[in-house]
Structure 1
Amino acid sequence: MEAVQTNNRTYNRTLVVVVMMIAMAAGALMQTSLGTAIPSLMKAFDINLSTAQQATTWFLLFNGMMVPLSAYLANRIPTTVLHMIAYALLFVGVLVTMSTPENSGSWWIFIVGRIISAMAFGIMMPMMQIVILNMYAPEERGAAMGAMGLVIGMVPAIGPTLSGWILKQDHTFWGFTLSDSWRSTFLIPLVITGIALVLTPFLMRNVVPTKKVKLDFLSLFLSTIGFGLFLWGFTNVGSHGWGNVPNVLVPIFAGVFLIVIFVWRQLKLSNPFLDVKVFLTKDFTIPSVVGILAMMAMFGVEMMLPTYLQNVRGLSAFDSGLTLLWGALLMGVFSAISGALYNKVGAKVLGMVGFAILGLGTFPFLFLTPETPTIIISVLYGVRMAGIAMAMMPMTTKAMAALPDAKTSHGTAANNTLRQVANSVVVALLTSVVQNVINNNTPSNHMKVTEPLRYASKMLDASLDGFKIAFLISLGFAVLGFILAFFVKSEKEEA
């Protein structure tokens, strides 16, 4: 572990990364571990699938809203202080969510906790990339970003499995009896966040230079409200349908209008709140979009598959999580492999191979039945996650390498803003598709009384049809990613 200096103080880069990875693990678990717990939330709060998925979409919404602010915060607040603020917010958010009473009237408290956690994670994700880019030379960043990929990729992937295992256990914590309860899924993130918060003052260092940057409040308003309205509109699709004017179409178009004004203002400012000019660099934009497609493909199936396994296949939360375990493990293995291969073969080759594998692993999902063996689902999911790991982090590293060091904070914020917006949209999109197909194909209540077995069979078919369309959309992301990866600059990165 090599010691380096900043501000005349010696520190260890590896330990700094370890602290960030610990905290990121908690944030990433908060982001995706609810996938397996969605059916439990539906039962506990007496809500439908669309409402339950708001726990994810609202998280992604506020996560995306916070990311543009991260560039300003990274340049204005010392690295150690900013990390402590983010970790404290995450701890509070997890605790609020975990403490929500079980009734439909308290669902908003659960969402508030998710929002607080999302605000913290919206700071943590870009800061981790900014810190790594400031600590490591260009030739070292591939391995460092590969290590980060273990957290950004593997932990969200392992979240559903870990959540399913936790839901099967009995716990007592601060007076709560957590027997087969959704609350238990927050135990590990809470403890991990607490550990990171305690370690930060001792191991974190102010590696990102700070400067007095004036906050453009108008830009902050435009970005927050613009992205917020846009994502809120997509969040409402599952509950209200695409044709709903006040809850879906108005916020989406209003959000787009404010985002356009925001972008126009950034192009005019000498010191922009978010330097959108980074997208004028083709070598940054194309890999960023390709990496985002990989993330969307991961979220698309990752959020839908546990619900399919429990609602269609009838598996328990633990068994559905266990089915996805190999995918999580392969995600970690191939994240490390792609990091090691980055300097040897380049992002383009890794991206094209990764998306090809992703497509091959996704296509069979279009033919799932209520009787498909879980071992086949597990293998296919593992193939998908291996492909995503090979494509996602190399593309992010390639994108950031195209920018000068002075632009890394803005490039990171821009990349993560698009990523979170895209993730919010894909979760809302797929949830609405599944919910709408189910609603449109639900048999009459009369059949439920007169022919209960036939009613149950038709409901099962309706759910399965909805999931198949969601998987088809995810396959589309893989195909589009493969095509765009072809246009990534092909020069191999120098060792």
Structure 2
Amino acid sequence: MSSELKDMNGKPINKIAMMALLLIGSFVIILMQTSLGTALPSLMTAFNVDSAGVQWLTTIFLMVNGIMVPVSAFLNTRVPTKYLYLSALLIYIIGTVIAVVTPTNAFWLLMVARALQAVAAGIVMPLMQVVALALFGEESRGKALGMVGLVIGMAPALGPTLSGWILDQDHTFLGLTIAGNWRSIFMLVLPIAIVVLLISFIYFKNILPTRDVKLNVRSLIESTFGFGLILFGSAMVSDHGWMSFTWVILPMLLGLLVIAEFAWHQSRMKVPFLDLSVFKNRQFTITTILVSLTFIAMIGVEMVLPIYMQRVRGLSPLNSGLTLLPGALMMGALSPLAGYLYDKHGARRLVIFGFSLVFIGTVPFYKLTETTPTIFITTLYMLRMAGIALTMMPLTSSAMGVLRQNQVAQGTAVNNTIRQVAASLGTAVLSSIMQSVINDHTPTSSLKIKDPLEYAQQMLNAGLSGFHASFLCAAGFVLVAFILAFFLHKGKVTAAEPEEEKA
């Protein structure tokens, strides 16, 4: 047996307590990634914003989270483990408090709160993996990563249902009655985060070595503005249309120029902020694109479906969350199986089959009506998430498998960054398409006075047309991914294969 585990100061570590604090705190933080999904219609009413506007609460979370991924690699190296984790918890608590007290005439403040929560999530997700591997030896590594995977998989899966349950009724907590509204989503997780923070002062230790490295501020600014401008332009489509030069075309062009300069700057750096040379590897590039398309198909539909179920079907937030829960649990259950199958057969056949399931589970959404049975929606969603489970892990493993050992850390950062930004961009595109079609089909206000029933029917049809267009676009992303999957290697791939070393 190995000797007692000690921190960087030679003091013993209670690794069970430290791991428990890490998992609980990370669970609470990552839960916020999807918890607002079923609350979006309530937030639209409370803040008087449209579907494209409210989607920014998800978009900004994903974007900031994506920006934080390469920064977290720097932070893990530069900042002692204990203080980094405590800082993440504190940032999360501050963001959550701001969300609770945000007045309904200050939607921008709620976006600030979401951005702060995303900063915390961007720190703890990679930190959780690194610390888990440091806490447990080689013989327990699978168990450690299994616990990490449980948090990463189950927190987003439970988010929509938990928020639906919170919104559906009042709750009594520590003798206090908390009304079932969108603020309750933040209020009920806040005490847990505070308790974890206080206990972490005692039990969380500095376990990772640190080095005196410098953050390249220029690269951080360029990546933030580049991706941010592209995202802003796509989000403005719903209000101004695709041909708006000022609000759509110009921001996206400027974003592309900034990203091009960012890429050129990285190629000139001895130690890049984000090593884009990994894209010289053809298989890494294909798998990264496929992972991005998978996230667009998953996150985009996850944001649109609750709005359809509540606005068109009239389901409560709880019932709309329960409708999606089996699919989320399906993804969590099949992910380990996908890893086993990848080890046996590689990614190509598994990914092709997975995207087939996602496509089959997405196309019927194009025919959703106001009377579509919820069991039909649940079944399709389960089919989609089963397909995503069979593609996500094999693609990520394949992307890392083709890189040399000294490229894996940067490759992980690049893959995660592109994936998160693609999810943000995809969410903005799908929601903007939906809102644009709704705007185009919305009846004139005069009809509301002349024939209220006809006005209501046309508004319902306009909403359905918007949802149909969004789902059709998602199916298009999946079809592109399905075709691209045929260019993957057969069987498992390794960095040692000569073909993979070609630029």
Contact 2:442 2:462 in 1 (8 A): yes
User: Using the alignment, how far apart are the partners of 1:175 and 1:45 within structure 2?
Assistant: 29
Relative to the length of structure 1, the TM-score reads 0.89
Q: Report the equivalent of 2:331.
A: 331
Contact 1:345 1:492 in 2 (8 A): yes
* Deviation sequence 1:121-140 (CA, Å, 0-9, x none): 22233334555677789999
Relative to the length of structure 2, the TM-score reads 0.88
Alpha carbons of 1:11 and 1:473: their partners in 2 closer, same or farther (altered >3 Å)? farther
Contact 1:171 1:179 in 2 (8 A): yes
**1:40 maps to which of 39, 42, 46:** 42
Q: Report the equivalent of 1:74.
A: 76
Contact 2:178 2:184 in 1 (8 A): yes
Q: Report the equivalent of 2:501.
A: none
Any stretches of 5+ residues in structure 1 without a counterpart?
none
Contact 2:165 2:317 in 1 (8 A): yes
* Deviation sequence 1:298-328 (CA, Å, 0-9, x none): 1111000000001111111111112112112
* Deviation sequence 1:90-119 (CA, Å, 0-9, x none): 121122112212x32x21221111111112
Contact 1:229 1:254 in 2 (8 A): yes
Contact 2:401 2:493 in 1 (8 A): no
* 1:15 to partner: Cα distance: 6.9
Q: Report the equivalent of 2:499.
A: none
Contact 2:355 2:481 in 1 (8 A): yes
Alpha carbons of 1:295 and 1:437: their partners in 2 closer, same or farther (altered >3 Å)? same
Q: Report the equivalent of 2:180.
A: 180
Query: For 1:36, what is the secondary structure of its paired residue?
Result: coil
Q: Report the equivalent of 2:26.
A: 24
User: Using the alignment, how far apart are the partners of 1:195 and 1:415 within structure 2?
Assistant: 34
* 1:336 to partner: Cα distance: 2.9
Alpha carbons of 1:24 and 1:350: their partners in 2 closer, same or farther (altered >3 Å)? farther
Q: How large is the RMSD of aligned CA atoms in angstroms?
A: 3.1
Alpha carbons of 1:93 and 1:131: their partners in 2 closer, same or farther (altered >3 Å)? same
Q: Report the equivalent of 1:264.
A: 264
Contact 2:65 2:121 in 1 (8 A): yes
Contact 1:62 1:228 in 2 (8 A): no
Contact 2:402 2:493 in 1 (8 A): no
* Deviation sequence 1:61-115 (CA, Å, 0-9, x none): 32233233222222222333222212221121122112212x32x2122111111
* Deviation sequence 1:159-186 (CA, Å, 0-9, x none): 2111111111213679996323111122
Alpha carbons of 1:57 and 1:384: their partners in 2 closer, same or farther (altered >3 Å)? same
User: Using the alignment, how far apart are the partners of 1:14 and 1:199 within structure 2?
Assistant: 13
Q: Report the equivalent of 2:498.
A: none
Structure 1 residues 244-323: aligned runs within 5 Å: 244-323=244-323
- Give the paired residue count: 492
* 1:191 to partner: Cα distance: 4.0
Q: Which amino acid aligns with 2:97?
A: L
Query: For 2:213, what is the secondary structure of its paired residue?
Result: coil
Matched, 1:53 2:83: no
Alpha carbons of 1:280 and 1:200: their partners in 2 closer, same or farther (altered >3 Å)? farther
Contact 2:328 2:385 in 1 (8 A): yes
Q: Which amino acid aligns with 1:50?
A: A
Q: Report the equivalent of 2:231.
A: 231
Contact 1:345 1:493 in 2 (8 A): no
State which drifts further: 286-295 or 364-373.
286-295
Query: For 1:305, what is the secondary structure of its paired residue?
Result: helix
* Deviation sequence 1:345-366 (CA, Å, 0-9, x none): 3333432222222122112211
Contact 2:398 2:492 in 1 (8 A): no
* 1:459 to partner: Cα distance: 0.9
State which drifts further: 479-488 or 320-329.
479-488
Tell me the percent identity. Answer: 47
Q: Report the equivalent of 1:95.
A: 97
Q: Report the equivalent of 1:110.
A: 110
Matched, 1:487 2:457: no
* 1:458 to partner: Cα distance: 1.0
Any stretches of 5+ residues in structure 2 without a counterpart?
495-503
Matched, 1:425 2:401: no
